Amino acid sequence: MILRDSLLNKMRPKIETRFLKIKNSSSEESFQNIVLRPIIKVQTQLLVEAFKKYALAHKGVFYKLRPEKKSIYIENSIKKDQKFRNFLKGIIIGMFTVEEYNLYKLNSSSLNKRMMNLVYKRLSENLQLFEYREDDKTNSHSKNQISQ
């Protein structure tokens, strides 16, 4: 356990704490700033790929939207699709140390809201990474055939 926790902490980026009001923060806000933000930063590429797969699985509607509507689509996907939301949470929770997970369990409801808000912001800030390419669908299909 100690090795796993150590490795997880080493791979997280250090976020500039002078901008984060840690001393006067609630426990949830501190957890968000100290744990969630660095994990989401590390996991951004995986979160983007997960959303791409989600968008393609839903008939690619996302790729036909105007840029201003794409952000709303992301928000609705995270808020309304419980299965997708749980998948995103798993991507993040899997990066917790045991101690962090035990803290998370105490306030999971409020921390889940904070987590999903951060994921939404991160995905919305990276809309340029969601440019549709025909080879995305082809690559996805051929990878599925390989894994079967």
Question: From the centroid of its chain, how far is CA 49?
Answer: 10
Per residue in 9-22, pLDDT (tens digit) is 888 887 765 555 55
Residues 31 and 39: their CA atoms lie apart, in Å, by 11
- Residue pair 37/15 in contact (Cβ under 8 Å)? The answer is yes
Q: Is residue 131 scored above 80 in pLDDT?
A: no
Q: Which two tokens stand for residue 60?
A: 């690619």
What is the value of pTM for the model shown? 0.81
Spell out the alpha helix ranges (H) of 21-147.
Answer: 27-31, 37-57, 61-64, 67-80, 82-93, 98-106, 108-125, 134-147
Per residue in 28-50, pLDDT (tens digit) is 999 999 999 999 999 999 999 99
Residues 45 and 86: their CA atoms lie apart, in Å, by 18
CA dihedral sign of residues 12, 136, 87, 55: positive
Per residue in 53-76, pLDDT (tens digit) is 999 999 989 999 998 899 999 999
Q: Which residue has the tokens 């901008």?
A: 19
Domain ranges of the chain: 25-143
